[in-house]
Amino acid sequence: MIRFELYENGELSRKVIDELWDQEVDMDDWDYLLFASNQYKGDFIDVDDAQRGNMQPKSYEVGRLLTGSCANGWYPVSNFRGRPGILGVAYHA
């Protein structure tokens, strides 16, 4: 079982958002984020053809947790609020 932390738009500081942009996470028009620590990295695979992000969950059900109305993305991050892990971003536009 993967444990996620949920962050809604408005809950992150401008500094955290800028740090994610610096890590090539597209933070334009996002609704919410799901963060999983690096201990769950094995539950994701690298992909080269993603419109946004360069990872995807191995589990179909986990992939369906992102329900934005536009392309959603999963990103490896080295620093999200001081921790490395996987960040799922649901977009609305």
* Torsion 75-67-8-44 (CA) sign: negative
What DSSP character marks residue 4? Answer: -
Each residue of 33-49: pLDDT tens digit? 999 999 999 999 988 76
Name the phi and psi angles at 2, rounded to 5.
Answer: -95, 135
pTM: 0.90
Name the phi and psi angles at 39, rounded to 5.
Answer: -60, -20
Q: What is the pLDDT of residue 48?
A: 76
pLDDT at residue 91 tops 80: yes
Each residue of 12-70: pLDDT tens digit? 999 999 999 999 999 999 999 999 999 999 999 988 765 678 899 999 999 899 987 77
Cα–Cα distance measured from residue 8 to residue 90, given in angstroms and rounded to the nearest whole number: 10
Angle (CA) 41-43-44 rounded to 5° is 75
Query: CB of 14 within 8 A of CB of 27?
Result: no
pLDDT at residue 81 tops 90: yes
Q: What is the pLDDT of residue 51?
A: 65
Cα–Cα distance measured from residue 63 to residue 73, given in angstroms and rounded to the nearest whole number: 9
